[in-house]
Amino acid sequence: MISTKKLIVSVLTFILVYTALLLPQVNISKHYAELFCTVGNFLFEDFPRGGFVNLKTQDDKGVNDIALFISKAEWMEGTKIKGVTANKASDRIGYLITAFFVALTLATPVSWKRKSIALVLGFIIVTAFVMLKMYIIILNSYTLVDWFGLYQDASEKETIQFWYSHFAAPATYGYSFVIIVWLALSIEKKEWKKMNDMITKMLPEKQMPASSDNSK
């Protein structure tokens, strides 16, 4: 099992790394926002049903560092371009949980080889999760603009807004997902066995039902 010293070092490492990643002076969040837009534009620029999406960073909107522009592909030709822009925060959508995952992984007392593999695979998985959230956020943005004529069916709007309210908008699910990814990638099979054995020992033993004597 992990010694008390290793546990304390891991906790302190997590606190230091996570705090450092959130410091504005470090400015990693700005680089993340740029990556966020690059990946988002690659995935969503040609949006289903003739939609058009563009993501770009902005510095004059406070925490809302992403400008989400939605339109229709047919409206992007010529000089009469029209659409709607919404301000979004990349830290709330993706950076905070990504930094949380990085800090957890770096603080885990495993070999650097395993940490490196977990960081790379985990970053890809967490980014895919973030982009799924962004997809729903974009869908919800289309439902709010009826003159686009996209995603306006009543039942469809209700479904999209349900997933937006219960999955894409809340931040808590992201942390839960990150913990699952971290456990899956960072904890070795033998550690899982040790944890399982420890939990099994902590559980109360099942009592055998007392036998009843039915004889008269």
Tell me the per-residue pLDDT of 91-125, one tens digit each, with 9 for 90 and over: 999 999 999 999 999 998 888 999 999 999 999 99
For residues 67-98, one letter each, b for 16 or more C-beta atoms within 10 angstroms of the residue's C-beta and e for the rest, the string is: bbebbbeeeeeeeeeebeebebbbbbbbbbbb
> Per residue in 52-78, pLDDT tens?
999 999 987 778 999 999 999 988 887
Question: Would the CA dihedral through 18, 174, 117, 185 be positive or negative?
Answer: positive
Whether the CB-CB separation of 142 and 148 falls below 8 Å is answered with yes
Give the position of tokens 């070795």: 188
pLDDT in the model for residue 157: 94
User: Considering only 9-23, 124-138, 196-210, which range has the smallest mean pLDDT?
Assistant: 196-210
